[in-house]
Each structure stands twice: as C-alpha cells, then as structure tokens.
C-alpha cells in the first residue's frame, strides 16, 4: 500500500549511481533541470563540465 512517503530516486549523471532525491550529497540546476549527486566530488565534476556528463547519458 502506498503511503505517499516513498522517496524518488534519481541517477547521478557522473557515476550513474541511484540517488535518493531527499538524501542527496548535492544538487545542481542546469538548463532548467535539477541533477542529484551521490557525493560532493560528483557534483564538482558535473559543475566543471556539465555537457561532458550529459552527452554520455
């Protein structure tokens, strides 16, 4: 039975790991989309060159 408390999972665009949107290590907004990260290092890599990671998606 759904309780409405299920967490939404996202995919870290850098390492492709599943990330709980409510318990992430950071987010970045790019071109109107919010990206979620499993660790601060993945966020830093994405912020330095977002297109590199989005093209490989």
Q: What is the pLDDT of residue 7?
A: 79
Q: What is the pLDDT of residue 55?
A: 87
Q: What is the pLDDT of residue 32?
A: 96
Distance from C-alpha of 57 to C-alpha of 20, rounded to nearest angstrom? 19
For residues 52, 54, 55, 57, the Cα torsion angle rounded to the nearest 10 degrees is 130
Q: What is the pLDDT of residue 5?
A: 60
Task: Show pLDDT as tens, one digit a residue, over the chain (57 residues).
Answer: 555 566 799 999 999 999 999 999 999 999 999 999 999 999 999 999 999 999 865
* Contact between 17 and 38 (Cβ < 8 Å): yes
CA distances from 1 to 6, 20, 49 (A): 11, 20, 42
Q: Is 24 helix (H, G, I), strand (E, B) or coil?
A: coil
Tokens of 8: 């939404």
């Amino acid at each position: 039975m759904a309780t409405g408390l299920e967490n939404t999972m996202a995919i870290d665009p850098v390492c492709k790991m599943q990330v709980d949107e409510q318990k992430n290590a950071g987010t970045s907004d790019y071109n109107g989309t919010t990206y979620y990260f499993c660790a601060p290092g993945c966020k830093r890599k994405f912020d330095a060159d977002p297109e590199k990671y989005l093209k490989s998606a």
